[in-house]
Structure 1
């Protein structure tokens, strides 16, 4: 990859990237210079003119791409990865990137230029590495986007190990220096549903009022001082259950239970109640979409009902889903072994 950059206050600022493929991995350093900023319009093809006062750097694999390289901007990029050294990105950096789907960055990115995500209607995934705490710029990014966004937090913490307490955890530097420490990562996956606004006219009164659709705006308000409030996030489920489609609810519930950071007992019970109440329909969808992992989660959570499990095994076999059918039949035998001479019953999902 060929990179255009400039030196600013002793650090490198990326201006343009050239290469092949749809994924751009911004380097941490250019030579010995740390990359701390990415300039305005870097990944946009709407830039009015190209910068002249730039330096160039080519990565080691760039020489192999030289005859095929192109400006990595606009619809030519689908994913961008920022290193943890990047602290700011400029105005309209992704303006017109209509095929951008995934963005990776850390909590050390604290400044986002205005209009950064204008036209990024297909952006669906944010991968966020929390290196220094719980605060990040996720709220600012979500505020510019109306569509559903799936956010994965990678929470870094230090696990302290000594002879007295192998389970002790701490982020205090002094404590870390006193004991042997290993860096650990905890994953948290969250759904932020879509939302949109509609101007509705009250003709007799000659006034316009704004009508909100979807719970996405509510979920985007679950941040306090750039830190996500998990309690508030979970409390919104009663609203989401009434408004969001099943696929959104399914992801939201399974992810919160699989990655339960900040999940209270009450919130977990609410999610379990939803799964139990919709178990037949959910299982049918999981079979059709080959989500064996989530069928396994239902077993882990102890939510199977005998009639649903038996009907699911039959349905999976009828659909030719051999792996799902095998798993479900094994669970049926394990959880509800048939008694000798028991009368057969027919169930439907």
Structure 2
């Protein structure tokens, strides 16, 4: 990678990135100073070429090893469809306006708790993003809410708070303009539980108690597969999970046990499967249904785990190769 950058009041601002790899991990420092800012339109194809030329004239170029170079050395711009994953520096404080505008193939974004200022439209057009990873500050604060409000799609958020791991799902939402003819106005209607989940923040911190209270909305409005992923990951990564919320989630898993275990089997999450089976304690009949689905999959490890569970009901464990 080659970076076009300049100094700012707090450290370094990167204005453009050049390279061939769609997975971009920005450096923590350049010239011995922390990278604290990303320029406007840094990863967008829609950057104003006049503004970019000004950055080129006043800034510097260097490699990812910090070696200063004269220019981008013929490397293509890392922008638009070329960007698939972004890992931002831990000390980053500011992201410029429309920084990731129309990065249609961006799927993963990682950032730290020092990020506080996200420019307008930064995530506009990032419709394929699936996962956000955030390491909050020691108080649990981050700019996660600012990011999520620009992303209406279903998202998985992996959160690290003082070394504790949490995993949260935010269902999708969409807005619809409906004409109110008698009043001669357009009313804005929001659909999906996702908007409620995105509002479960207290200032810069995810209010996990409020997040868990929203489960009935997800259960009523979202597809079963999304609800199961939300529930499974709250049990498997129980950051600040209360006993009341845990009981509610486990009861849902018991009611949808066969499908829940199937999801873990299809994703080959064998350790997680054992944990969930211990939590929901399916009876013999339910376990046999789970085993039948596992046998149809042809996955011997999945089958073996359910044979072990079935053995606990007094049935002799069969050999793993008997599918």
Q: TM-score, normalised by structure 2?
A: 0.89
1:259 counterpart residue number: 237
Q: Is the CA contact (8 Å cut-off) linking 2:254 and 2:280 kept in structure 1? A: no
How many positions carry a matched residue from both structures?
308
1:199 counterpart residue number: 177
Does residue 55 of structure 2 align to residue 55 of structure 1?
no
CA, structure 1 residues 35+208, in 2 after alignment: closer, same or farther (shift >3 Å)?
Answer: closer
Q: 1:219 aligns with which of 197, 205, 209?
A: 197
CA, structure 1 residues 293+247, in 2 after alignment: closer, same or farther (shift >3 Å)?
Answer: farther
1:36 counterpart residue number: 36
* C-alpha distance in structure 2 between counterparts of 1:205 and 1:225, whole Å: 35
Alignment of 1:87-98 (within 5 A): 87-98=93-104
Q: Is the CA contact (8 Å cut-off) linking 1:283 and 1:295 kept in structure 2? A: yes
* C-alpha distance in structure 2 between counterparts of 1:11 and 1:305, whole Å: 60
1:83 counterpart residue number: 89
In the TM superposition, residue 197 of structure 1 has moved relative to its aligned partner by 1.3
In the TM superposition, residue 231 of structure 1 has moved relative to its aligned partner by 0.8
Q: Which runs of 5+ in 2 are unaligned?
A: 317-323
Q: Is the CA contact (8 Å cut-off) linking 1:39 and 1:93 kept in structure 2? A: yes
The two structures, once aligned, show a CA RMSD in angstroms of 2.2
Alignment of 1:269-308 (within 5 A): 269-308=247-286
In the TM superposition, residue 186 of structure 1 has moved relative to its aligned partner by 1.0
Q: Look at both structures and tell me which one has the larger radius of gyration over its CA atoms.
A: 1
2:227 counterpart residue number: 249
2:80 counterpart residue number: 74
In the TM superposition, residue 9 of structure 1 has moved relative to its aligned partner by 2.2
Q: Which runs of 5+ in 1 are unaligned?
A: 157-184, 340-349
Q: 1:230 aligns with which of 203, 208, 220?
A: 208
CA, structure 1 residues 338+326, in 2 after alignment: closer, same or farther (shift >3 Å)?
Answer: closer
CA, structure 1 residues 60+284, in 2 after alignment: closer, same or farther (shift >3 Å)?
Answer: closer
Q: Name whichever of 114-123 and 195-204 sits farther off.
A: 195-204
Q: TM-score, normalised by structure 1?
A: 0.82
Matched residue SS, 1:70: coil
* C-alpha distance in structure 2 between counterparts of 1:5 and 1:295, whole Å: 47
2:120 counterpart residue number: 114
Matched residue SS, 1:301: helix
Moved over 6 A (4+): none
In the TM superposition, residue 59 of structure 1 has moved relative to its aligned partner by 2.3
